[in-house]
Structure 1
Amino acid sequence: MTSKRPRDLDDGRPVDDARQARQSTELSLLHTELTPRPRRSPTAALDHGVSLPSSPSQSRTSPSLASSKASKISRNLSPTKQLRKAELEETAEELKMINGGFGILPKELQDELMKDDDSFEFWNFGDRLGLGTTCFPDLSTVRQIYDLARRCFKNNHPESSWNNDVHSRVLNWVLRDGPCKDDIVDYRCCLTAQIAPEYQPINSRSKMVDYCFCIEPKTNSPQYRTIESLCKKRPGKSINHTDWADLTKYPIAISIETKGPSIGYETALLQVATWHSAQWRSLCWAKQDMNLLTFSCQIEFLPGIIVMQHHWWFVATALNEGGKAQTFERLLLGETESLLGIYKLSMALQKLVEWARDQYWPAFQSDVLGL
C-alpha cells in the first residue's frame, strides 16, 4: 500500500507530502510512548498507544478512522467496524441527524426564518423527532454571530479574533446565556493549559487546546469533597491532566481546538489526539497497579471539537480492545457561514452538553471518584 494519501475528499485541499511525513512521524512516536509515569511493569501499565488518522477521507456525514502505525496510514476499516463503542455510535447518530437538517427546527419559526435567509428549506421544519428538548437562539443572536463570522472570514482575521468574536459567542449562548444553560456544565477558555509532565508523551511535544467543557459539582456535594481529597495525591494536585487554574478541581468532559486561516486540520487533530491521550492516562492514573485490559471502564470515549474558522467538527478518542486509544474523525456539527448552520451548531452543542451531564459525569464518578 502506498504511503501517499489521497486528496481530502471533504475539503479538496491539495496534499502536502512533507507536512504529512512530519506529522506521521510525530503520530508514530505518540503511538509507542504513552504509558503513565512513573513506569510500572509491562503487565501492569496501560498500553496507551494512540492510533490516529492523518486526514479525513470519507463523507461529512460518517465518522472515519484510519490507523497510524509506524509511518504508514491504513484506511481499510469499514465504518461499521470503526464505531464499536455503543455510546459513541449513538452520539454520532444523533449528531448526524441534526446535521442532516430534516425537521430539526420548529414549524413556528418557518415563516420568519425562510423570509430572512435562503439557506433554509421547508423540510428543515417539523417535529424534531428523537432530538429531545432543544432551545433555539433568537434570530438577532444568530444574525450577530453570522455577521461577525463573515467579517472574520472576509478580512482573513487570525485565530484570536475568531475565538473572541465568534467561537466564544457561540459557547456563551449554549452554556451561559441561553434558556437551556446547564447548572453543572460550563466552559473555560484555557489557551495556556499545559499537560502535566506525568501524563505527557515522552517523545512527543506537549499540546494545548483552546476551550474545555468542564463539570462543576456544587462545593458542598460529596463529589466535590471527593475531588478535593483525591487531588492531594494526584500529579499536579489536579483531577485532570493539567494544573491550569480551576481545571484542577473541575473534570474536563469535552475539549475544543480552534484554528485560523493558516493552520491545517491535521495539526489540530494531532493536538486534540495528544491532549486526549494525556487525559486517558489521567483517568486511569489510580489504576496503574491493575491489569487495565480487564478493567471495566465506564467512560467509553472522550469527545473533541476541531473548529476551522466557520466549521465545527466532532472527533472522539476511545480505548480499543487492546487498551490503546484511537481517535475517530470526523462529523460536521455545524458552521457559521449560514443561519441554518448556526442553528445546527447550537443544537449539536446542546446535545454534547447533555451527554457530558448525563453520560460522562456519572461514568467519571464511577471510574475516577469511586462513587
Structure 2
Amino acid sequence: MWNVSVWLDDIENTPPLRQSLLASATRKRTPDQSAQLSATSPTKRQRLADIDGNARQMTERTPSPVKERDTRRIADVGVFDEDDGRTPRQTRTRSQKAAEYLTNKNPASVVLDARFKHFLPPDRADSSSFPTRSSPSQASGSTSRSKSPVKDAVDLQVADIPIYQRTREEVGIPKLAETLCKKLEDIADGDGLVPKLIAERMKQHGDTKLRPRHLAASELPFSEYDLDDFKQLVEIWEDARQLEKDNVHEAAWNSEVHSSVFRLALRPHKKRIWYFNITQARPVPAFLPTQASRISESRLVDYSVNIMPTLNEQRAIERLISKEDEKQSTITQTRTTAVRTRPCVISIETKTDSGHVKAKNQLAVWGAAHFARMSSLFGPSREEEGANLSIHQVIHVQLHDWKLYLMVERQAGMFIDEIDLDLCIGGTKSLLELWKLRASVRCLAQWAEEEYWPVLWRKLKALEEN
C-alpha cells in the first residue's frame, strides 16, 4: 500500500524535469540534455541561418545593448508602451503623461482626457487647468485672444463702453422713439387692423384669435396687395406649424419662414429698404466693445434690414469708405459685401430653442458695433439732438414670437442701454399674429426711410464735403 504522505513529500522536494531544464537553459547543455528538452517542448520553427551564411553581405554596425524589459504592469511605476521591442522607450507614469499635457509638451489642440484628473497633484487637479481646444492662431502662438472673450451680460457691463440691459420701467423710452413705439403698440393691440374681407378668410382657416375689435371700421385700409399677401401668409403659417411639429433646425426656419416674412412685408419698400441674411457675417473687430486687452466675442446675428442707396448715394458712400483703413472700410458693422455700402437700420437674431439670454447678448454686441461705426465716422451721437442715429432697433425671434428691443447710445457714447420694450410685434403662431407682423415690419421700414435715412444722408454728405 502506498504511503501517501511520503509520496507527497517526495514530489514536493523533487523539481519537475521541465522546470529543471528551463532553469539551466542559460548554461551550456550536454547533447543528452538538449535532446530531452526538445522531446518535452512544443514544436518550434527552426531558426534562420546565421547572417554569416547569407549570400548577401550586410553592412557591419555596432549592435545596440540589449535592455531587459519587465513585462509586468506595476501601478506604482507605470505602464510600458507597446513598441514590439525594436526601440525601448522611457517608462512614464500616467501622472507624468498628464503633467506633459499641462506643460504644453503635447500639441495645444489635444484636449486632456478627464480620466487623468485624479492622477494629478492636488494643486493641479483643478479642472480650470485643463487645456482647451484652440484655434489654429492660438496654437501658433497668437496672443490677440489670449484671454476669455466677453460673453455675457456681466462682461458687457464692464466693457470699455458698458452695455446695460434695461427694462422699460427702469429708463423709459427716448423721446425721439416715442412716436414709433406708439405706432407699434397700436399694431400689437390689433384694434381696427384687419379688413373685413381678410377677417372672413381668417375665420375660414380656423383662426380663433380674431375678435370683433380687430376688424377695420371700413374698407379704407384694404389695398390691392392685401388679398395676395394674405394667401402668402397662409402658406407661411402652415410652414411654421409644420416646422415646429418636425422640430427642425434654425436654418430651416430662416429659409422657409423668416425670409418669407421679410420678403412679403418689405415688398412695398423694396427699392429703398430690404433685408439680408447675414448669418455668416462677422463684425469688424475694431467696432466691438472691449474690456482691457480682451475683445468681446464676435457674435453673429441672422438678418439685417438695410437702406438701399441710389446709384449716386452709393458712389458717395464708396468714396467715403475708400478713405478708411481697409480693415474697417464699410458703412455698417461688417465688411460683408452685400451690406458693405448699405447702412443697417435693424438687426435680427432668430432662435428656435430657449436661447433668450444668448440672443440678447448677441444683439447687444452687434448693436454696439453699429454705434461704434457711426461714432468713428461722425463722432458720438447726442440723444438730445434728436438725430435718430443714437437709437438702433433689434429684434429677437424666438420660435413663433418676434420681440422688439431698442438700443440707445447715452451721453455721447459713454454707455449703451438695451431696452426691453416688452413689445411683441407679431408672430407666426396664427394668421392674426402674422397680419400684425406684416404691419409692424412695414412700420419700421417706413421709419427707416422717412426719418432715419434723411438724417444719416445729410451727415454723410457733410463729411464728404469736408
Range class of TM-score, shorter chain? 0.7 to 0.9
| CA distance 1:360–1:230, shift in 2 (3 Å) | same
> Equivalent residues in 2 for 1:210-289 (5 A)?
210-219=302-311, 221=312, 223-235=313-325, 236-261=328-353, 263-288=354-379
Counterpart residue identity of residue 30, structure 1: L
Distance 2:192 2:254 in 1: 30
1:307-328 per-position Cα deviation (integer Å, ceiling 9, x unaligned): 1111111111012236321111
SS in structure 2 opposite 1:187? strand
Q: Which residue of 2 aligns with 1:354?
A: 446
- Matched with 1:26 is 152
Say which structure is richer in helix.
Answer: 2
Task: Compute the displacement of 1:208 (Å).
Answer: 1.3
State the partner residue of 1:364.
Answer: 456
Q: What amino acid does structure 2 have at the position aligned with 1:351?
A: C
Which residue of 28, 46, 52 corresponds with 2:165? 52
Judge conservation of contact 1:194–1:242 (CA < 8 Å) in 2: yes
Alpha-carbon distance in 2 for matches of 1:364, 1:133: 31
Q: What does residue 193 of structure 2 align with? A: 104
SS at match of 2:210: coil
SS at match of 1:138: helix
Residue of structure 1 equivalent to 2:109 = none
Which string of whole-angstrom CA distances, capped at 9 and with x for unpartnered residues, describes residues 118-161 of structure 1?
22112111149999999635332111111110011111111011
Q: 2: distance between equivalents of 1:355 and 1:255? A: 15
Number of the residue aligned with 1:189: 277
Q: In the superposition, relative to structure 1, how do residues 88 and 130 fare at CA in structure 2: closer, same or farther (>3 Å)?
A: farther
Report the alpha carbon displacement of residue 364 of structure 1 after superposing the two structures with TM: 1.4
| 2:458 is equivalent to residue 345 of structure 1 | no
C-alpha change, 1:131 and 1:244, in structure 2 (3 Å) is farther
| Unaligned runs of at least 5 residues, structure 1 | 1-21, 35-47, 54-63, 66-76
Q: Following the alignment from structure 1 to structure 2, what is the Cα–Cα distance between the partners of residues 197 and 239?
A: 14
Q: Percent identity?
A: 24
| Aligned mates of 2:219, 2:425 — CA distance in 1 | 18
Q: Pairwise mapping of residues 144-223 of structure 1 onto structure 2 (< 5 A)?
A: 144-176=235-267, 180-202=268-290, 203=294, 204-219=296-311, 221=312, 223=313
Which protein is bigger by CA-based radius of gyration?
2
Mark the runs of 5 or more structure 2 residues left unpaired by the alignment: 1-147
The amino acid that maps onto 1:52 is Q
Answer yes or no: is the 8 Å Cα contact 2:409–2:416 preserved in 1: yes
Q: Compared with structure 1, are the counterparts of its residues 227 and 127 closer, same or farther at alpha carbon in structure 2 (3 Å cutoff)?
A: farther
Where does residue 58 of structure 1 map in the other structure? Answer: none
Go from structure 1 to structure 2 and tell me whether the alpha carbon gap of 1:139 and 1:267 turns closer, same or farther (over 3 Å shift): same
What is the rounded CA distance, in whole Å, between the counterparts of 2:157 and 2:336 in structure 1? 26
- 1:195 aligns to what SS in structure 2? coil
SS of the aligned residue for 1:126 comes to: coil
User: What is the deviation of 1:105?
Assistant: 1.3
Q: Deviations over 1:332-354 (max 9, x none)?
A: 01011101011000010110111
Cα pair 2:279 2:301 within 8 Å, conserved: yes
Contact (CA 8 Å) 1:254, 1:302: kept in 2 or not?
Answer: yes
Hey, what does 2:425 align to over in structure 1? 333
Partner of 2:215: 125
Higher-RCO chain (CA-CA 8 Å, sequence separation at least 6)? 1
Once residues 220 and 363 of structure 2 are traced to their aligned partners in structure 1, the CA distance between those partners, rounded to angstroms, is 30
Q: After TM superposition, give the deviation of residue 162 of structure 1 in Å.
A: 0.7
3-state SS in 1 of match to 2:395: strand
Residues 361/294 of structure 1: CA separation in 2 closer, same or farther (3 Å cut): closer
Hey, what does 2:205 align to over in structure 1?
A: 116
**Distance change in 2, residues 1:198/1:25 (3 Å):** closer
Are 2:178 and 1:89 aligned? Answer: yes
Alignment partners' CA distance in 2, 1:239 and 1:190: 15
Paired residues of 1:101 and 1:344 also in contact (CA < 8 A): yes
Scaled by the length of structure 2, the TM-score of the pair is: 0.60
Provide the secondary structure at the position in 2 that maps to 1:94: helix
SS at match of 1:194: coil
SS in 2 for 1:52: strand
- Distance (Å, rounded) in 2 between the aligned partners of 1:106 and 1:224: 39
Residue identity in the other structure for 1:327: E
For residues 202-260 of structure 1, the C-alpha deviation after alignment (integer angstroms, 9 at most, x for no partner) is 332111110111111111x2x22221111112342111121011311111111110012
* Superposition deviation, residue 49 in structure 1: 2.3
> Which stretch shifts more, 106-115 or 86-95?
106-115
- How far apart are the structure 1 equivalents of 2:411 and 2:222? 32
Which segment drifts farther, 272-281 or 238-247? 238-247
Write out per-residue CA displacement over residues 162-213 of structure 1, whole angstroms, 9 at most, x where no aligned residue.
111111111111224xxx2431111110111111121122332111110111
Distance 1:316 1:130 in 2: 32
- Residue 300 (structure 1) shift: 3.7
Moved more, 343-352 or 314-323: 314-323
Cα RMSD, aligned residues only: 2.9
